Chains A and B, each alone.
Chain A
Amino acid sequence: MSLQVYIPADAAAVALDADSVATALQAAAVRRGVDITITRTGSRGLHWLEPLLEVATSRGRVGYGPVSVSDVEAILVAALNGSAHPLCIGIVDDLPFLKRQSRLTFARCGIVDPRSLDDYVAHDGYKGLTRALEIGAAATITTVTTSGLRGRGGAGFPTGIKWDTVAKTDAAQKYIVCNADEGDSGTFADRMIMEGDPFVLIEGMTIAGIATGATQGYIYVRSEYPHAIATLNAAILAARRGNKLGRNVVGSSHHFDLDVRVGAGAYVCGEETALLDSLEGKRGTVRAKPPLPAHKGLFGCPTVINNVLSLATVPIILDKGAEFYRDFGMGRSRGTMPIQLAGNIKHSGLFEIAFGITLGELVDNIGGGTLSGRPVRAVQVGGPLGAYFPRELFDTPFDYEAFTARDGLIGHGGIVVFDDTVDMAKQARFAMEFCAVESCGKCTPCRVGSTRGVEVIDRIIKDDGRLANIELLKDLCNTLKFGSLCALGGFTPYPVMSAITHFPEDFGITPPSRQAAE
């Protein structure tokens, strides 16, 4: 009897011992004389069930999770006999958490072998590039623009317009740079794509290169992601061997190649101009704009710099058409967003859905509330520079403009849930502390203001001139917001001010001043 089993090699599964589970399963199968094939996939994004072991059956993949080494023997018996097991969750594709999603960017993640080019092609891979070559560069850019795709890194700038600017700038050398410096706490979607479906990113970058006339691409990955780096490098080698990268890509007249570059533990390098400086071998300090990277980017050449998710979404847009993608979403936020549910949440993981779903729906219904079982008190949306939202704002739809209107941001789509034990003054202090640690030092408000911010919040917590210091903190936040070149200094006021506005009691102020704290 032969058995096909899938076990994620995604870092979230590996951190919960997935490698040992795979080894133990292999050993158990050998002992029983079972012919077993274990394929290491990416993750389905059902992280509360990791390590999630899936067995191929005639009805689809049957899941078991969360699996520990001691469960392996019994699961093997259950899978062979088709008998029940307490960890069995049935057909994975039928789980409500997956059924409710619209998986476009993450269509293959958790399903395919991330290191197999053949598997990628067998699951509709490289259809986007084929289409792009048929319709030509100009129509490719028009398709991306018409789809309404906006930068998924957080800024939300229309991807097609960036490409068009680079395409129209004359230069002997142009670059495609992928920003994979995913440093925001609560976000891991880039990591999941790089570990679970790296070819979709490679294909997206190749399409970008051909459309804009760039021949070299760089993927700048943070050093905290060793598994992603290894998978990407393996996939790039496979793509080169399969003539999907290099000279005359897939037999066309276009050349495009890719290199992975590794960051070195600087959060600010997620800012696009600091990233470019870092790629050039310099300190990762922010550049003033203009010039835009599209005009003068890497090594002074026109450069498309896009987030992993933006580039990984391009293949499906080319394959299925701009209208198909644009029909998802609301307002000016078109398509889908891979939303990341993290922190103190029961059903943690990745949930890709059209823009427009409310924050409350995501946290309470899909996420199932807190893991600790205590009430949800605050959620931080959009990473360490995102605002803290209380329950009263849970009707906010997931949409770039709707979050901006409520003094927040969706950023890279991460949601971190906190229960009622959270101390919001401590969280505000941490935001300033983080800014002080990670500031590149170029702008004085960010470099000095963050340290002063920590001191002022300490005085507020100690009730040392509390009201005067709250005024001082607001003033300081304004200085940071308007006096910094990039989002690190400019957005650190979001978590700080939202904590004061929505949770004044944690700062020792009584709620009537809620309006005054505005």
Chain B
Amino acid sequence: MNGYLAWDETAARNVINALKAKPGALLPVLHELQETFGYIAPDAEPVIAEALNISRAEVHGVVTFYADFRTTPPPAHQLKLCRAEACQAMGADRLAERATARLGIGMGESSADHRVCLEPVYCLGLCTVAPSAMLDDRIVGRLDERKLDALLAEVER
């Protein structure tokens, strides 16, 4: 649906082996696994731990520390709304309320049909064209009701 492979241990080992020689390889490995499968499956943790010669607890600690790493499959779309100060100054809170009301989910939640998740992001570096948002890989500046509604219509299709 969004171009990710289903979790597969052999494919995961290939990803890990290609990167494990890098110094401090864990973050690059996790990023690449998430790129491939869309999330870090719990089954991936012991495989990573063995390959990098660290404990499973260390892997789990890192996976859960960073906001970027998902531990469940991602929905079809990820809509990130910037909630930081520069966007607040331009009405981001009001737009976030509009998005949560329309989708019927809270910030950080996924819709029941698994079409979309709504995530807060603290700064996309688009503070001069605030409020800003990111739908999957696409960045949007000067977000207003009209642009937000168009994004929401897109994810609901």
> Which B residues have a C-beta under 8 Å from some C-beta of A?
23-28, 30-31, 52, 58, 61-62, 65-69, 84-90, 121-130, 132, 137, 139-142
Quick one: given A264-B31, A281-B25, are A384 and B128 in contact (CB under 8 Å)?
A: no
Q: Does A434 contact B (CB under 8 A)?
A: yes
Q: Which residues does chain B contribute within 8 Å of A186, judged by CB atoms?
A: 84-86, 127
Is the Cβ of B129 less than 8 Å from the Cβ of A12? yes
Interface residues in A, total, Cβ within 8 A = 57
For the complex formed, measure the closest distance between the CB of B89 and the CB atoms of chain A, giving whole angstroms.
4
Q: 0/1 per residue, A411-441, Cβ < 8 Å to B? A: 0001011110010000100100010011010
* A415–B101 alpha-carbon span in the complex (Å): 31
Taking the closest CB of chain A, its distance from the CB of B23, in whole angstroms, is: 6
Say whether B122 contacts A284, CB under 8 Å: no
Q: How far is the CA of A348 from the CA of B128 in the complex (A)?
A: 5
> What would 24 A/B residue contacts be, using CB atoms closer than 8 Å?
A11-B125, A15-B132, A47-B128, A185-B85, A185-B87, A186-B127, A188-B125, A223-B68, A224-B124, A261-B24, A262-B28, A262-B31, A263-B66, A263-B68, A265-B121, A279-B24, A279-B27, A342-B127, A342-B130, A414-B86, A416-B89, A417-B89, A418-B89, A427-B88
In whole Å, how far is A164's beta carbon from the nearest beta carbon of chain B?
25
Taking a contact as CB atoms under 8 Å apart, the answer to whether B123 and A12 are in contact is no
Chain B positions within 8 Å of A440 at CB level: 65
**Which of A12, A226, A283, A384 is the one whose CB lies under 8 Å from B84?**
A384
Question: Closest 3 CB pairs between A and B?
Answer: A281-B26, A15-B141, A185-B84
Q: Tell me whether B129 and A50 are in contact (CB under 8 A).
A: yes
Q: A223-B68, A264-B67 are in contact. Are A416 and B27 (CB under 8 A)?
A: no
Q: Is the CB of A188 within 8 A of B127?
A: yes
The answer to whether B128 and A341 have CB atoms under 8 Å apart is yes
Query: Which residue of the partner chain A has the closest CB to B29?
Result: A281
Residues of B near A371 (CB, < 8 A) are 90
Determine how close the nearest CB of chain A comes to the CB of B41; give it in whole angstroms.
17
In the complex the two chains form, what is the Cα distance from A343 to B142 in whole Å?
A: 11
The contact of A342 among B28, B67, B86, by CB within 8 Å, is: B86
Given A280-B23, A340-B128, output 10 extra A-B contacts at Cβ < 8 Å. Answer: A11-B125, A185-B87, A191-B125, A226-B137, A264-B27, A281-B62, A299-B23, A343-B90, A348-B127, A384-B84
Chain A residues lying within 8 Å of B85, measured Cβ to Cβ, are: 185-186, 343, 380, 384, 416, 427, 430
Assembly CA distance A299 to B25 (angstroms): 12
Task: Judge whether A187 is part of the interface by a CB distance below 8 angstroms.
Answer: yes
A224 touches B31 (CB 8 A): no
Report the minimum CB–CB distance from A13 to chain B (whole Å): 9
The interface of chain A, by Cβ under 8 A from chain B, is 11-12, 14-16, 47-48, 50, 182-188, 191, 223-226, 261-267, 278-284, 299, 340-344, 348-349, 371, 380, 384, 414, 416-419, 422, 427, 430, 434, 437-438, 440
Closest to A46 in B: B128
A159 to chain B, nearest CB (A): 23
Select B129's contact among A16, A191, A223, A263, beta carbons within 8 Å. Answer: A16
A414 in contact with B127 (CB, 8 Å): yes
B88 contacts A430, C-beta separation under 8 Å: yes
> How far is it, in angstroms, between the C-alpha of A278 and the C-alpha of B58 when the chains are bound?
13
- Known contacts A223-B68, A265-B68, A430-B85; A187 and B125 CB within 8 A of each other: yes
Q: Chain A residues near B61 (CB, 8 Å)?
A: 283
Most A-side CB within 10 Å, residue of B126, B129, B132: B129
Cβ contact within 8 Å between A12 and B121: no
Q: Using known A-B contacts A281-B27, A380-B85, determine if residue A16 contacts B127 with beta carbons closer than 8 Å.
A: no
A417 smallest CB distance to B (angstroms): 6
User: Which B-chain residue is minimally distant from A195 (CB atoms)?
Assistant: B125
- Select from chain B the residue with minimum beta-carbon distance to A228: B125
Query: How far is A242 from B126 in the complex, measured between Cα atoms in Å?
Result: 32
Contact at B31–A185, with CB atoms within 8 Å? no
B142 contact from A16, A224, A278, Cβ within 8 A: A16
Q: Is the CB of B123 within 8 A of A224?
A: yes
The interface residues of chain B lying within 8 Å CB-to-CB of A417 are: 89
Q: Kindly list chain A residues whose C-beta atoms are within 8 Å of the C-beta of B137.
A: 226
Query: How many angstroms between the C-alpha atoms of A283 and B27 in the bound complex?
Result: 10
Report the minimum CB–CB distance from A298 to chain B (whole Å): 8
- B48: min CB distance to chain A, Å: 10
